[in-house]
A and B are shown apart, each in its own frame.
Chain A
Amino acid sequence: MERRELIRWLVATAGLQSLNALGAADLIALGRDVHRRPLHRAISPRVERTVAVAAERILPGATEANVGAFIEKMLADWHTDAEREWFVGGLADLDTRCRARAQHDFVDCSEADQVAVLTALDDEVFAAGAKDHWFARLKYLTVYGYCTSEVGMRALHLYPAPWRYDGCAPV
């Protein structure tokens, strides 16, 4: 988050006046916390949780990589309003499918039911070749968010950089 954005967020949340009272460690923690939260709450806490849980089921490790916050940032500040409505509208299908299957909303279902619902959806979307399906967007953002996170890049040995070039290295 840019410093300018950070200040705007602090002002918006009335956090500014209490800054002076914080010690260095608290400030760093606050900065880290702020970093994880989008500027404008573009989606409800309920949807936020649905996204976070679905991301973890789609790609284990997504939670540790804070993929949910990335997706929320993209929904808030990158996608258009219409795209966001389309995405959030589509996401409601997860609740519909889970209620039909296990009488609970998606986030309240068991992990096995969540995985079953997502797997069925994935099969349907890919069988139809529907790249412009909201679920394809969710998967795209999940994979992208993970692979550009520090956790993901370290796990994939993409970071730190090797600082050399070898055009014929063993795998």
Chain B
Amino acid sequence: MTPPDFDAIVVGSGMTGGWAAKELTELGLRTLVLEAGRPIIPEQDYVEHKPPWEMPFRGLGDRRALAARQPVQSHSASFDELSHVFWTDDADNPYSTPSDRPFFWFRARQVGGKSIIWGRQVYRWSDLDFAANLRDGIAVDWPIRYADIAPWYDHVERFIGVSGQSEGLAHLPDGQFLPPMALNCVEQHVQRRIADQFGRARVLTIGRVANLTVQHNGRAPCHYCGPCQRGCITRSYFSSVNATLPAAQATGRLTLRPFNIVKRLIMTGNRVTGVHVIDAKTRAERVYSARVIFLCASALESARILLNSGIGNSSDQVGRNIMDHIKWGGASGVFDGWTDRRTIGERPNGIYVPRFRNVTSRHPDFIRGYGFQGGAGRGGWQAALHAPGIGAALKARLSDLGPWSMSFGGFGEMLPREKNRATLHPTLVDAWGIPSLHIECQWSENELAIHRDMNVTAAELLEAAGAKNIEPSTSGPSTPGGTNHEMGTARMGRDPKTSVLNRWNQSWDVPNLFLTDGAAMTSSSCQNPSLTYMALTARACHYAVEQLKRRDL
């Protein structure tokens, strides 16, 4: 029998693929990372300091090209005239939904994946989350608890660098924090007033963010330029390009292959022995072999690979239980005072109000909860875009900062439901002939009740802080997928009959196959999920290597 080409193959080079590459290579495995998209060279591809006048449309984007090539991707929060190159081409990568139930599938194909364009908010999940399904009798129980993942949160935070403030909240555990970013004057005021009125029942803290506030592991602190989604030449925020992939490279055991699109996995008996890839440019096909395979291609893409391979799905749960976070509920208000103060620089972070619903009490309308993100600030010239007047009067308005205002926007938990499901489309294929997905996903009444409650409590927070002109959000719920926190399509569980992965992110059906991206989530929490994906990836890598050494894989 010929030895495999590599010890391990990792599919995907983003948030979790980068972590798998780092851990596996550092543990001694010769590792191949397959990336569907192009390579990224920071010195060329990072353009965060390009001023607006050097953009053909000054930041408004090439409207016609976007309508033709990125009509879905352009809805993403951090999508702009320059960062649009970090999202996929919708024409080459089609998928379908029922016409009355849109789902936004935001996708990134390049080395670094979505870790280049993510929002960088990182929050630990707790047993309020890991025990939630058991407590509520919903879906299946997580096979892990906070104690299982806590050391891996430490491990990941120490490496990536997380700035934040410890708050001592059991349901939002503190982590390994670098110094927090500053709250601005009005946010400090609101923080005090909320504390006066709500005690510890509702807390406002600075966001916990994977942007460095001090030099860390050879990476420079943030310089507050603003558009993180265009890259970061000082490597000040965490991405796989900025941190994990260089660490993997340094071991000498990493082979990184961009432009390699995975068509399917090859099985021998109940073991996966190879990965069948298509060269994105030449369309040449070949198979790479390895002893262990990690799928880190993003929740829906990893599920698609399993479905296209016809493996790992004896539970019939692959593609089901799609979850995202519901948003666009909240409120904003205006503050008198501080007119002699302003902010300087672009803080890549805001405030955070940790979940306070269904923590110690029980809400009559919904289970689970939501957290708020947001911030305070003053205006700028944008207010003059629709202002009356011409000439010198209008010009003077450009420098008018206006009053301070503050907004809160909720991120709400979504329940896992089997009917929220991705299946292989019977006919639709991508530009490389690989069957695409049909996605059916909608909010349930629980999410919609959460969304409605966001408006109520955000207004309460602003009232407590003494804001005027408080305006609850008039937006309906976000489109499912729109928060880009999609997860749940190959869930972990305790029983192979009802889950795809065991407590180690290991396929019940295929023991040398691990899946560690968002697909593995058994419930969605209301906190941003990437930190949990990374911690579970590192944990699974250490388990897999132990098993390999014991020859149990």
State the A residues within 8 Å of B (CB).
1-2, 5, 57-61, 70, 73-74, 77-78, 115, 118-119, 122-123, 126, 131, 136, 139-140, 143-150, 152-153, 156, 158-159, 161-171
Contact = CB atoms under 8 A, between A and B. Distances in A.
Contacts of A119: 390-391
Interface in B375-402: 380-382, 384-386, 388-392, 394-395, 398-399, 401
Among A57, A78, A158, residue most surrounded by chain B Cβ atoms (within 10 Å): A78
Interface of B: 49, 51-53, 56-60, 62-64, 181-185, 187-188, 223-226, 339-347, 380-382, 384-386, 388-392, 394-395, 398-399, 401
Given A77-B56, A122-B388, A149-B53, A61 B395 contact: yes
A59 B398 CA distance: 10
Contacts of A143: 381, 384-385, 394, 398
Contacts of B183: 167
Would you call the interface of chain B mostly helix, strand, loop, or mixed? loop
Contacts of B394: 58-59, 139, 143
A153 B64 contact: no
A126 B385 CA distance: 12
Contact of A156 (B60, B344, B391, B398): B398
A167 B343 contact: yes
B224 A147 contact: no
Contacts of B188: 168
5 contacts: A60-B392, A126-B388, A139-B394, A153-B51, A165-B347
3 nearest A-B residue pairs (beta carbon)? A167-B184, A165-B345, A148-B52
Given A78-B64, A119-B390, A140-B385, A169 B53 contact: no
Contacts of B53: 148-150, 153
Nearest to B341: A168
A163 B223 contact: yes
Contacts, number: 133
Nearest to A135: B390
B342 A171 contact: yes
B398 A147 contact: yes
A161 to B, nearest CB: 5
A60 B391 CA distance: 6
Given A74-B60, A167-B183, 7 more contacts: A59-B390, A118-B390, A140-B386, A152-B398, A162-B345, A166-B182, A167-B184
A171 B340 contact: yes
Contacts of A146: 398
B389 A169 contact: no
Contacts of A122: 388-390
Given A153-B51, A164-B223, A171-B339, A147 B345 contact: no
Nearest to B382: A147
Contacts of B225: 161, 163
Contact of A167 (B63, B185, B401): B185
B345 A77 contact: no
A171 B341 contact: yes
Nearest to A136: B386
A171 B185 CA distance: 13
A143 B384 CA distance: 7
B381 A165 contact: no
A70 B56 CA distance: 9
B391 A57 contact: yes
B56 A2 contact: yes
Nearest to B183: A167
A27 to B, nearest CB: 18
A168 B49 CA distance: 24
B64 A159 contact: no
Contacts of B64: 77-78
A167 B347 contact: yes
Contacts of A123: 388
Contacts of A145: 58
B390 A115 contact: yes
Given A143-B398, A156-B399, A161-B225, A70 B391 contact: no
Contacts of B57: 73-74, 77-78
A169 B344 contact: yes
B386 A131 contact: yes
A165 B391 contact: no
A71 B346 CA distance: 28
A102 B160 CA distance: 68
B344 A162 contact: yes
Contacts of A168: 182, 184-185, 188, 341, 343
